[in-house]
Amino acid sequence: MTYVFEPPVQASVAVLDSEGRFPVRRIFCVGRNYAGHVREMGNDPKSEPPIFFTKPADAVVESGADIAYATNTANLHYEVELVLAIGAGGADIAESDAAQHVWGYAVGVDLTRRDRQAEAKKGGAPWDTAKAFDQSAPISAITRTPPAADARIWLAVNGDTKQDARLGDMIWSVPEIIAHLSRSWMLQPGDLIFTGTPAGVGPIVAGDVVTCGVNGLPELSFKIAPQ
């Protein structure tokens, strides 16, 4: 096949203890999935079904990278999340079958332009500008081994812990997330699912070093560099 210009490099994520890489097809994200975070954003945690939004595949950034402070914002926020790497596709997946579709697990951060998100919410507009920007999805290496159901999830900025919770605090479990998501999209191998963030989100600035993890998974770290 001949293209009118060279196609972009396939976005991918490192796999723990392997030279192989996980090719990224799409990135789905779950909003408002920890009660504490829902409340700190001024909402009722039981008022609505899961909220989904997306990021471009090439928003992924490797652990250890320097990430430029995002343009078009004065209020860049961190949100640590458990990430699911889908290895088997499907639609209308039953909760009882959901685990069979997960290839691996990682730690991710949903970087957010909080000021742009506030504007979108106020105007009833999509969240794309707030969520789907360049380098907005830092992610650790993927491992095949799942974390414990109630594993600790945490994030620190310059060594100061900001988020500290348990996966068991999720409003919607991993099987429920996959089942709900697959009712609206045909999941495919290469899809990533960021499963929501606990309370404690906040701003980061140039020079900040972010470290985060889910117990049992490879840790993620990155630095915010100047624009």
Report helix, strand and coil shares of the chain as percent, to nearest 5: 20, 35, 45
What pLDDT is recorded for position 208?
Answer: 98
By mean pLDDT, which of 46-60, 72-86, 138-152, 167-181 is the weakest? 46-60
pLDDT in tens, 193-225: 999 999 999 999 999 999 999 999 999 999 999
The 10s digit of each residue's pLDDT in 119-149 is 999 999 999 999 999 999 999 999 999 999 9
CA distances 186 to 9, 54, 59, 124, 191, Å, are 24, 14, 21, 26, 10
Summarised one tens digit per residue, pLDDT across range 67-79 is 999 999 999 999 9
d(CA 164, CA 199): 8
Spatial CB neighbours of 164, under 8 Å, sequence gap ≥ 6? 152, 153, 154, 155, 198, 200
Domains and CATH numbers, the chain: 12-225 (3.90.850.10)
Measured CA to CA, the distance from residue 75 to residue 30 in angstroms comes to: 21
pLDDT exceeds 70 at position 46 = no
Contact 81, 61 (CB under 8 A): no
Distance separating alpha carbons of residues 217 and 162, to the nearest angstrom = 19
Whether 108 contacts 189, CB under 8 Å = no
The rounded distance, in Å, linking the Cα atoms of 220 and 210 is: 8
For residue 92, count other CB atoms closer than 10 A to its CB. Answer: 9
The residue behind tokens 């004065």 is 74
pLDDT greater at residue 50 or residue 47:
50
H or E segment and range at residue 180: helix 174-181
Tokens matching residue 35: 């009660």
Q: Which of 27, 30, 35 shows the shortest CA–CA distance to 168?
A: 35
- Contact by Cβ (8 Å): 93, 186: no
